[in-house]
Amino acid sequence: MSLINIEIYTKDDCHLCKSAKGVLMSVASDYPLRITEIDITKDEKIYSEFKESIPVVFINKKREFIYKVHEITLRKKLDKLINYQGEKP
């Protein structure tokens, strides 16, 4: 089973970001995840794109969550990906 890539766009002093990261960490032991945190303040272009909408979570390059990550919804999305990856063409 291949890794599921998750990118979370965040910045310091963001309570919603802290909450979203907590949800990601709480499910990380149950799924084959590669979680990458991207600080929007480190890149002007990224900052201008995401400054009003963090945290933003991408799963396999598809934007899935903005502002809040709901654990049940996240688990459903990850389960669906794992089931899809397990199917043979």
Q: Model confidence at 2, in pLDDT bands (50, 70, 90)?
A: confident
3-state secondary structure of 88: coil
Instruction: Count the neighbouring beta carbons within 10 Å of the beta carbon of residue 64.
Output: 15
Q: What is the pLDDT of residues 7-21, one digit of tens each?
A: 999 999 999 999 999
Domain boundaries, the chain: 4-86
Question: 5-40 burial, b if ≥16 CB within 10 A, otherwise e?
Answer: ebbbbbbeeeeebeebbebbeebeeebebebeebeb
Task: Summarize the confidence of residues 34-60 as an average pLDDT.
Answer: 96
Is the CATH number of domain 4-86 3.30.460.80? no
Is the pTM value of this prediction over 0.85? yes
Phi-psi label, residue 8: left if phi above 0, alpha if psi -120 to 50, beta otherwise: beta
3-state secondary structure of 15: helix
pLDDT at 46 over 70: yes
